[in-house]
Amino acid sequence: MSLPLPQPAIETGLDTTSVASVANVANVANVSDVSNASEIPAALEPPMAEPVRARKLSRETEDRAPTDVDGALARTDHVSHVVYWTIQIAALGAILWAVFGPGVGATALALCAATFFARMFGITAGYHRYFAHRTYKTGRSFQFLLALLGTASTQKGPLWWAGLHRRHHRYSDEPGDVHSPKQGFYYAHQGWVFDPRWNATPLELIPDFARYPELQWLNRWHFVPPIALAAGCFALAGWSGLLWGYCVSTTLLWHATYTVNSLAHLWGTRRYDTPDTSRNNLLIALLTMGEGWHNNHHYYMASARQGFRWWEIDVTYYLLRGLAAIGVVWDLREPPAAALEGRLRSAAAAGR
């Protein structure tokens, strides 16, 4: 059994530009008390990496060169482009071959479903609700497992993903947003992924988790888990296993995730009058295990539950409740009555 993680605090010795810069990072992360000290004796605390220097968050952006924490692959955009489009072309070919050719076997389809939903949980419960918003607590071992599942989704590392997501919430649908549909549907859906402004990991936005060396390692070597997964699928079911268990599954996973950035800001209903264009969408919620209740989420980001009503299906939350029942995760944050009733005065009151 792993020790409970100390609640990462933004330390006073980070050489920050101002107290406000620390407050900005905390607001983006939806952390209610950044000064919370660990109750674990110092001798039992896990080793941490050097503190990350925070800097002032700004709407203005510029191309940022990747650093060591991004890894070598981040410095070769052409390789990333080739890999990205090759996976999708291979997936399209596999689907066309299955439809107009001899079909596809049950083992390959089972691999596709298993790798899709396991990695979707890594994105929704891990990258999004844990690393980006810290809506529940867990131990260091399960924290690493969540990061590993998310990294296997081929959506880069946990520090990159969660750091940019915090920026998205800080400037949602405003100048400085990472993937607003106001910049065009294609850009919001997948074009932003190759925008050089977002190539580097914004460590200043994720200092709480950048303290863990194993997360820095995964962030740096984010291509290793996908390669291992692809090799495992090939070992289990040959070429059909590779094509369906990795290529088709990954392509579906990418575009299901992307719909939250694009379609969930264009299509659906708005329960809350948020300053952005977020919407609730049942179909997207079903595709993404609960992420489609996007207007709920933008109104109150600090909740582990995004389906605020009983009929709003949120599979990720159900699984987290199950994990909480056996002690793997704990302190799941719920939306308060004021949020459910729409009585929060502003987005800032919701933890923005």
Rounded to whole angstroms, how far apart are CA atoms 184 and 109?
Answer: 34
What predicted TM-score, i.e. pTM, was given to this entire model? 0.82
Rounded to whole angstroms, how far apart are CA atoms 323 and 129?
Answer: 14
Maximal C-alpha separation, the chain: 64
Q: List the pLDDT tens digit at each of the 352 positions of the chain.
A: 444 454 443 322 223 233 233 333 334 444 333 323 333 333 333 444 444 444 444 555 555 666 777 776 766 667 888 999 999 999 999 999 999 989 899 999 999 999 999 999 999 999 999 999 999 999 999 999 999 999 999 999 999 999 999 999 999 888 888 998 888 999 999 999 888 888 889 999 999 999 999 999 999 999 999 999 999 999 999 999 999 999 999 999 999 999 999 999 999 999 999 999 999 999 999 999 999 999 999 999 999 999 999 999 999 999 999 999 999 999 999 999 988 888 776 544 444 4
Contact 44, 6 (CB under 8 A): no
Contact 171, 177 (CB under 8 A): yes
Sequence-distant (≥ 6) Cβ neighbours of residue 97 within 8 angstroms: 104
Rounded to whole angstroms, how far apart are CA atoms 334 and 81?
Answer: 40
Query: CA separation (Å) from 91 to 47, 99, 285, 299?
Result: 41, 12, 23, 36
Predicted pLDDT at 76: 65
Predicted pLDDT at 78: 77
Predicted pLDDT at 341: 85
**For 214-251, b where at least 16 C-beta lie within 10 A, e where not — what string?**
ebbbbbbebbebbeebbebbbeebeebbbbbbbbbbbb
In the chain, where the domains are located = 19-40+97-350
* Residue type present at position 323: L
Predicted pLDDT at 100: 93
Predicted pLDDT at 346: 54
Nearest Cα residue to 207 out of 125, 134, 139, 148? 134
Strand partners, 138: 329
Predicted pLDDT at 10: 30
Alpha helices, H only, the chain: 19-29, 77-100, 106-121, 140-152, 158-170, 185-189, 213-220, 224-242, 249-261, 282-287, 294-299, 315-325, 337-340
* Residue type present at position 340: L
Q: How many CA atoms lie within 13 A of 210 on its CB side?
A: 24
Place of tokens 């607001």: 27
CA dihedral 187, 192, 193, 197 (to 10 degrees): 160
Reading the block at residue 167, the tokens are: 């920026």
* Phi and psi based region of residue 71 (left: phi greater than 0; alpha: psi -120 to 50; beta: remaining): left
Rounded to whole angstroms, how far apart are CA atoms 191 and 21?
Answer: 29
Residue 341, burial from CB neighbour count under 10 angstroms (0-12, 13-18, 19+): exposed
Contact 29, 208 (CB under 8 A): yes
End-to-end CA distance of the chain: 34
pLDDT tens figures, 183-222:
899 999 999 988 888 888 999 999 999 999 999 999 999 9
Residue 334, burial from CB neighbour count under 10 angstroms (0-12, 13-18, 19+): middle
Rounded to whole angstroms, how far apart are CA atoms 203 and 169?
Answer: 16
* Residue type present at position 147: A
